[in-house]
Amino acid sequence: MLYVLKFIHIFALVFGAGSGITNGILASRIIRNPNPGPPPEMVVALMKTMGKIGPIAMILLWLSGLGLVFVEYGTLDIGLLFYLKLAGATLALVTVLYIARMAMQAEAAGVPPDLKKIKRLSHVVWLGVITAVTFAIVMFN
Ligand code: HEM
């Protein structure tokens, strides 16, 4: 069970990071496009898919992370470094869900999402992820 949970934890991180990097690069290219206009349909479809993978990966990180804690320690009370990791993970989760909500609202209204705002918020997600990874490495090495 422990290995399955670790596998899910690391793979969720890989998929979440991959989707975030992909959408970050595409958003930068669209924002900096010298000939503004709607991006090609294939790019929009790719961004929507990546935009779904990100929140799913983040939720899997949380579910597998909670599973790991309970299998390994049986309690969430495992020290300050872990709480710092959880602070980063919480920041990342809340921001990813907020971005997903923004994207869904834009889609429902039939307008393009505010890519500049999403790009700024994605930096907050990275801050949370980097914090969570850093304290995970320090704590669980
Ligand atoms: C953005 C969210 C998260 C990221 C990026 C993340 C990242 C990581 C990484 C990279 C490791 C491997 C560290 C190592 O073995 O040196 C790890 C391990 C671990 N994580 Fe997370 N994590 C996140 C969320 C969570 C959450 C929400 C929990 C619990 C509620 C959690 C619990 C754990 C536990 C218990 C381990 C140790 C597994 C072991 O024994 O090797 N993680 N995490």
Q: What is the pLDDT of residues 52-102, one digit of tens each?
A: 999 999 999 999 999 999 999 999 999 999 999 999 999 999 999 999 999
- Measure 29 CA to ligand 1 centroid, in angstroms: 32
Q: How far apart are CA 138 and CA 135, in angstroms?
A: 5
Does ligand 1 have an atom closer than 6 angstroms to the CB of 82? no
Q: Which CATH number fits domain 2-140: 1.10.3470, 1.20.120, 1.10.760, 3.30.70?
A: 1.20.120
Reported pTM = 0.93
Q: What is the pLDDT of residue 33?
A: 86
Does ligand 1 have an atom closer than 6 angstroms to the CB of 9? yes
List the residue whose alpha carbon is closest to atom 10 of ligand 1. 133
DSSP of 20-79, one letter per residue? HHHHHHHHHHHHT-SS-SPPPHHHHHHHHHHHHHHHHHHHHHHHHHHHHHHHHTSSS---
Phi and psi (nearest 5°) for 92?
-65, -45
